Amino acid sequence: MARMTFCPQCGQRLIVRIIEGRERPHCARETGGCGFIDFGQYSLGVGGIVMNDDAASQHAILLIQRNQEPNRGSWTLPGGFVESDETAEAAVVREVEEETGLRCEIVGLAGFRNRPDPDVNTSYVVFLLRRIGGELIQGPTAEIIQRGFYSLTQVRTMDLLTPLSRELAVAALSGQLCILHAVTVPGMHGRPPVTLFI
């Protein structure tokens, strides 16, 4: 893990000490610091499962082909990264609209994966969404080569579909998803309410 040298909150040089069983860079209060502890780097990504709700067409799932590194050319669920000042639910709705043009709302939580990479511990959360408006963007953009709805047969044989997206797409198209649903829970200490998936 990349270690911080200076405090991101107050700029003071960090010292390393044992905190909660491990050596961690710390902004010591006894030398005028703010008490910040470097617990490591984490990032949160989101993906959206959007099914075609057009009764006349085949049962299909929304996929995008990436036009950016990493993995340019690969197919995945639409999605992206959660900004530090937004919820995962807001991020997935925003990313799906940016990438595909479709406006959606959250149905529930469908999947989670975590991976401790060398520099950052990454988590990926997948939501089932319901389409409520918008039109599919046509043609390539800076981020996306193409996007569309694909059937189970197409998904099973699609080249360059990432393993995670294939697993999720096959489960969704086979009716195998288990969905956790949102409830609103009051915040503590004056903080706003939060959404809990149970």
Residues that bind Zn ion (CB under 5 A): 7, 9-10, 12, 27, 33-34, 36
Nearest distance, CB of residue 93 and Zn ion, angstroms: 35
- Which C-beta is closer to Zn ion: that of 8 or that of 193? 8
- Which C-beta is closer to Zn ion: that of 19 or that of 185? 19
Question: Which residue in this structure is represented by tokens 């579909």?
Answer: 161
- Which C-beta is closer to Zn ion: that of 35 or that of 140? 35
Nearest distance, CB of residue 41 and Zn ion, angstroms: 17
Nearest distance, CB of residue 74 and Zn ion, angstroms: 40
- Which C-beta is closer to Zn ion: that of 9 or that of 153? 9
- Which C-beta is closer to Zn ion: that of 24 or that of 147? 24
Nearest distance, CB of residue 6 and Zn ion, angstroms: 8
Nearest distance, CB of residue 190 and Zn ion, angstroms: 24
